[in-house]
Structure 1
């Protein structure tokens, strides 16, 4: 987005590009709420995942074509909707391959998670390699980003082909049908409210257009407000529902501070593809000795450290008898997340300047620290979400976990506007200290939160 047009980019300013990237991530996680509902009530998981994959493929086909910013925003829309359909349902399909007593179940999920991280580790090397001309400088001194994005389109096409044919062999026929098909009498109010929502959104956009305020920044603000409002609405709905018992209501209250902590964590963790990506491109020496690499290659550190750290933390939680409760782990996770940002402020403090380039080991160290935080928050959060969910809101509660990520990235879309090379040190220190302080505050509320969890560890 921010590369000059003459170098193959779109010529956006860095602040706008960073803000768009953050809100894009937020939209992906918000759309999962709709994807889960469509699977459960309308299409069934197998069809929903396939449609999602097709939309993602077309989104990357759009990015592979030289149609400028129009192609970018079309691709964002397609990939957001497609991922919303695919992401929440593909995990459920993996579970359906095994009975609850099948000993291969955990191994199946381990392979599934490994596959996700393997793809995430390979892409940051394959995509820039293609964009730079496959090592032959086919595109001169510029970058052909379209060639890089085409790899994702080709990959998804191949994935869809095997999914379609092997799905007939190995997937349950139950996955072709919704688990809780919507009844006709319940369909009308949903259609009405959907139309009302679309009309309201269209009216807001029309007003912005007529007043000359229809800008990328204002659209991002609207999405940010929606991303923050959605979980608040969900919490109010659950806490006021007659279907929720007194004990369940207490557990929902316990989940509120954990949700806030998760949102703060994801705002930092997901900045790896935004703020740290800018730092890699503009402030990092792109070689270690004689080994040269692209700024995009740093994106492989996230999945790489997850794959390295997961076995250790699985062993730790399996053998540690007096391990901290979920709120305690969240507290430690926030401190580590904040530390990863404070660590990134050190190069500018040590050198007394944010001009020039610094060692790539700073980025490597920061990513390692934040992935320790992810091990303390992400899997624990998934687990505690299922434990604290009221029976009447099991699926919606899992959506809340995704909305924590959406809210964090939406906030990130606003605060990244303050990041630049000149504000690098105060930016990293401010965000990092906020996370550490919230982590410390959470530590002092661990026992009260645990009491509200009412029997859930």
Structure 2
């Protein structure tokens, strides 16, 4: 990876600006003739979120600037990338299906204090801010005895799945909006999700910087964020069935899949430890 010369940098910037404007103009034209609806736009973004990381992984694997050793480290990185997709698929629903559930089926009283349902949206961020220094202190105290990065990521995925499985309990046996669950169910779900986010994102970003091929160091970090885009694209499709199935089925199936895939990453730990050197 090399810095661009000033002239090349200006050309790259103009290409990005021009491409963005051309895309906006095309979208406006298609919307004007009635072809580009919101549903189709979401579908296009989902397709782009799938194609972009696939293409970039192909570029990195086939690039002559990537050595055999670096290519070997990209293989475990794919596992971490997919783990991030699974977790963030759950995480992004904290502000969609979970907020919808909280607004229609959750009490808005804790210890006698009443609050608007919109405050639930702040719970996840508050837990992450509170838990991040605590988790960091634990890792510092454990030193070399702390879990491998892949296990931290796997635990994050499992916690994300458990945050959805937890919602099966208060929603089981109920339909529609005719029931109310205690606020602690939503709070507990966000607590698990917040802890999972702290474990996964910090370890994932650290591993990205260490596993990245020298010629693609910055792009590999950007590729990690494409896992968020892919997760968002997938959940944009899956949430369409939220109203078509029962709440226990929706949260149970999605949460169960996340837990199983997290356990798969745990099972792959021996191989990941061997192939992720120098990540510890």
Check whether TM > 0.5: yes
Distance 1:405 1:296, change over 3 A: same
The answer on 1:260 being equivalent to 2:112 is no
Instruction: Supply the distance in 2 between the matched residues of 1:379 and 1:185 (Cα, whole angstroms).
Output: 33
Instruction: Supply the distance in 1 between the matched residues of 2:9 and 2:199 (Cα, whole angstroms).
Output: 41
Task: Choose which of 25, 37, 41 in structure 2 pairs with 1:215.
Answer: 37
Instruction: Supply the distance in 2 between the matched residues of 1:396 and 1:438 (Cα, whole angstroms).
Output: 26
Instruction: Supply the distance in 2 between the matched residues of 1:194 and 1:396 (Cα, whole angstroms).
Output: 19
How many angstroms does 1:290 deviate by?
Answer: 3.2
Gap runs ≥5 in structure 1: 1-178
Distance 1:187 1:311, change over 3 A: closer
Aligned to 2:272: 449
Query: Contact conserved, 1:306 with 1:371, CA < 8 A, in 2?
Result: yes
* Residues 304-340 of structure 1 deviation map (CA, whole Å, 9 limit, x = unaligned): 2122222321122112243221111211211111010
Aligned to 2:139: 317
Instruction: Supply the distance in 1 between the matched residues of 2:174 and 2:15 (Cα, whole angstroms).
Output: 59
1:85-234 alignment to 2 at 5 Å? 180-184=3-7, 206=29, 210=33, 212-234=34-56
Aligned to 1:328: 151
How many angstroms does 1:445 deviate by?
Answer: 1.3
The answer on 1:287 being equivalent to 2:114 is no
SS in 2 for 1:243: coil
Distance 1:421 1:358, change over 3 A: farther
Q: Which has the larger radius of gyration?
A: 1
> How many residues are paired up?
278
How many angstroms does 1:297 deviate by?
Answer: 0.6
Distance 1:279 1:193, change over 3 A: closer
Q: For the aligned residues, what is the CA RMSD?
A: 2.6
Query: Contact conserved, 1:254 with 1:450, CA < 8 A, in 2?
Result: no
Query: Contact conserved, 1:269 with 1:370, CA < 8 A, in 2?
Result: yes
* TM-score calculated relative to the size of structure 1: 0.56
Aligned to 1:297: 119
Aligned to 2:247: 424
Query: Contact conserved, 1:250 with 1:454, CA < 8 A, in 2?
Result: no
How many angstroms does 1:433 deviate by?
Answer: 0.8
The answer on 1:436 being equivalent to 2:247 is no
Gap runs ≥5 in structure 2: none
How many angstroms does 1:183 deviate by?
Answer: 3.8
Distance 1:336 1:184, change over 3 A: same
Using CA pairs under 8 Å that are at least 6 residues apart, name the structure with larger relative contact order, 1 or 2.
Answer: 2
Distance 1:434 1:422, change over 3 A: closer
Aligned to 2:223: 400
* TM-score calculated relative to the size of structure 2: 0.89
Instruction: Supply the distance in 2 between the matched residues of 1:276 and 1:299 (Cα, whole angstroms).
Output: 9
Aligned to 1:235: 57
